[in-house]
Amino acid sequence: MNSFITHLSSFLIIILPYLVSSQTCQNTCGQVPIKYPFGTGVGCGDPRFTPYVTCSGEQLTFTTHTGCYTVTTIDYSNQVMYISDPTMSTCSCTQPSKGFGLDWDAPFSFHDSTVFALLGCSTTSSPIYSASGDGGSNTTFPMCDSEGGSVCSLLYSCEAIGRLSLPITTCCVYTPVDLGPSFEMDLQKLQCTSYSALYGFNGQESNPAGWKYGIAIKYKFNYNNDYPTLCATCEKSGGVCGYKSSPDKAFTCNCRDGLNRTTDCFYGGKWSHGSRFIPWKAEALSLLGFTWFVMLVFVLTGGCRLE
């Protein structure tokens, strides 16, 4: 009997965590749909993205070393994330800012549609030039776009920005955004008081009040930018892609019934007329019931003496 209890206890220790586990990964955060490579918590999505994109309550947030920013929407088809910086200036509001930057080792870069307009820059220290640093050379390159005058003049025509009474020469437009290998826009170092960012004119090129203000950021799944086959299989079964808390961060499929699996959320079987699918939790319960039956038969047939 002691041997029976020992084996049963060992089995329950193994199977119970699968039976009582609860799903932590969701497919939305507030009004923003969440798909791979993003997730709603630790163990969800791709582990490379977890430190930067988080869901707290109903708010999806993008974090870099320069601050925390609201994710307004994600274009999964084109792999572009749009964020809003509460410290940047728009046509309706102007305020001082320290700038914006991406973490150099994060899987993000600026989308070509992003336009940065540096406002209230010094006209005596030439902040529009920066050392290129390519190959160790000491050459410089213009930071500002020579065709940015129209953006500057229209921004300065806004009442909020225009009340600063700054000459147009203190505005610097930078597109396409690069910011060099550090992905850093340090307004204090550039001697500019604030900046504005936009990723589209919304068909209103001459009306800055109608522009799409914010920052468009690109992301990649991996080096080759291939959508992982394991994740596609998991999502097809209704699961959410995630990863284990183990050091290797191995892939897991987070299922609606609360179980995490290495492939998908279904157990496939065959009927005479097609196929059937049993949730993994049902499979685990069936396995538990079968084990109880085998052990009971083992006892009743004298395989284990009761003392």
Residue 307 predicted with pLDDT over 50:
no
pLDDT per residue as tens digits for the range 205-253: 999 999 999 999 999 998 899 999 999 999 999 899 999 988 889 999 9
Q: Alpha-carbon dihedral of residues 222, 223, 226, 228, nearest 10 degrees?
A: -40
Contact by Cβ (8 Å): 193, 120:
yes
Q: pTM for the full model?
A: 0.74
The secondary structure of residue 215, as a DSSP letter, is: E
- pLDDT for 19: 42
Q: What is the mean pLDDT of residues 101-108?
A: 92
- pLDDT for 303: 56
Tell me how far apart the alpha carbons of residues 148 and 198 are, in angstroms, rounded to a whole number: 13
Q: What is the mean pLDDT of residues 69-83?
A: 97
Residue 167 predicted with pLDDT over 90:
no
Distance of CA 199 to the CA centre of its chain: 19
Contact by Cβ (8 Å): 142, 128:
yes
Residue 144 predicted with pLDDT over 80:
no
Tell me how far apart the alpha carbons of residues 251 and 46 are, in angstroms, rounded to a whole number: 9
* 166 closest CA partner among 202, 207, 196: 196
Residue 2 predicted with pLDDT over 70:
no
* 44 closest CA partner among 228, 222, 251, 186: 251
Tell me how far apart the alpha carbons of residues 282 and 13 are, in angstroms, rounded to a whole number: 18
Residue-range domain boundaries for the chain:
2-24+228-300, 87-97+111-214
Residue 279 predicted with pLDDT over 90:
no
Q: What is the mean pLDDT of residues 270-279?
A: 35
Decide which of 290 and 91 is more confident.
Answer: 91
- pLDDT for 273: 34
Percent residues over pLDDT 70 in the chain: 70
- pLDDT for 306: 41
At what angle are helices 280-300 and 2-20 packed, to 10 degrees?
A: 170
